[in-house]
Amino acid sequence: MADPSFPASLVDLPEPELPGRAWARVAIITGGICGSDLHLFTRNTGPSPTLTGLASAFPFVLGHEIAGRVIEVGPDCPWEVGTRVAVDPCLPCAARGIDPPCANCARGWTSSCLNLDSGLVSGGRSLGYTQGLGGGWSDQVLAHRSMLHVIPDAVPDRGASLHEPVSIACHGLLRSPPPDGEPILVVGAGIIGLATVAALRGLFPACPITVLARHGHQAAAAAACGADHVVRTEEGGAHFAELAVITGTRVVGRKANVMLMEGFPYVVEAVGAPQSVTEALRAVAHRGTVLLLGAAGVSEVDLTPIWYKEAALVGSIDHTADMGPAPGLAGGPGRHSVDRALDVLAAGLLPDDVIVTHEFALEEYRAAVETAIDRGGANAIKVVFRP
């Protein structure tokens, strides 16, 4: 089903063998379409050219937001056939069979593994960018036992792949935890922004949450997920006046170049676009924190607030065990971010009937991708495949 005008094709591939004794074969229940996947369909290869050499092994099987059911296990894989599992797509040292592990994996920082470009098992830093392992946009995927997390019964199949963006948010928030009870601004109400709202409600429930949303359906979803305030962006930065009312401060600057004089102590940037990064920095309080979850790449942003406000800029990627602390239901030291995310989903903090707006069969891959790209026109939030 190749289409020369479209950079993906639906193909039949040989069923791969398990790479080792500790691996499992998982039949896909739900595979999500991530914003990073869409870079391939909008004529660029990712958020940053710095990562191009690490990202994948062309051609690769797409899909890293993965939930499924175990259908085969190796002799050293403890999961039972039939178990529903969330798959951490990262392939750090343990999954690649590297022993002793790299310095970062030895510290427990598997999201920062130094061997993600090793080519062992497969090229590509994670599932969704590999060869011979399958992916979320397929019938099945292969995963090491360390990558599997049991899905609670309270999480329905339809929303099971949402664990991946929620895990991204959980790990990011625990990289530099916000003070519980302090107001937080989330810039962006796409899936990462909404997953952040859910993660905050699970990890730091006393924090009042304000969400900055571009589209009306995103604003409605943010309210449904429990945001205390939802502000729609306006041309020329007029929405900063509303943010100032919420924080009890004032706006300084001229025309579109404005910022809050005393803004939010903690801001999460959840889009990755130059304008959203700039807005996050301009909205943060003096000596506050801006957490980058939107995977921003090469872009032009206003860095003035970092030095003028002495703000901290924190980066985060992927999934790992975090020490915490976190006072909410998904708290506890040393827990993996995927397990925290599954607790958030089981508690209904990211309702799948609101978030999963479109479902497609694999054969409808082109319509699925086009729907995910046309967020505003299609009122799409999370588009998923149901093989």
The residue ranges of every structural domain in the chain are 23-151+352-385, 165-346
- Both tokens assigned to 176: 């530099």
CA distances from 209 to 180, 213, 345 (A): 11, 13, 18
Please give the chain's pLDDT, 387 residues, in tens. Answer: 556 678 888 999 999 999 999 999 999 999 999 988 887 787 654 556 656 665 556 788 999 999 999 999 999 999 999 999 999 999 999 999 999 999 999 999 999 999 988 989 998 889 998 989 999 999 999 999 999 999 999 999 999 999 999 999 999 999 999 988 999 999 999 999 999 999 999 999 999 999 999 999 999 999 999 999 999 999 888 899 999 999 999 999 988 899 999 899 999 999 988 899 999 999 999 999 999 999 877 778 999 999 999 999 999 999 999 987 778 877 777 899 999 999 999 999 999 999 999 999 999 999 999 999 987 788 999 999 998
Helices (H), 110-262: 163-175, 191-203, 216-224, 239-247
**Nearest CA to 192 among 45, 52, 36?**
36
| pTM, full prediction | 0.94
Residue type, 183: P
Token digits of residue 378: 């299609």
Q: Within 13 A of 248's CA, how many CA atoms are on the CB side? A: 2
Residue spans of beta strands (DSSP E) within the chain: 23-32, 65-73, 84-87, 140-144, 148-150, 184-187, 209-213, 229-232, 251-254, 257-260, 264-269, 284-292, 312-315, 321-322, 335-336, 356-360, 382-385
Is 23-151+352-385 a domain of CATH 3.90.180.10?
Answer: yes
C-alpha span between 5 and 189 (Å, rounded): 31
Tell me the CATH number for domain 165-346: 3.40.50.720
What are the structure tokens assigned to 107, written together? 């510290």
Give the closest residue to 163 by CA, choosing from 34, 334, 24: 34
165-346 shares the fold of 23-151+352-385: no
Measured distance between the N- and C-terminal CA atoms of the chain, rounded to whole angstroms: 17
What phi, psi does 157 have (nearest 5°)? -55, -40
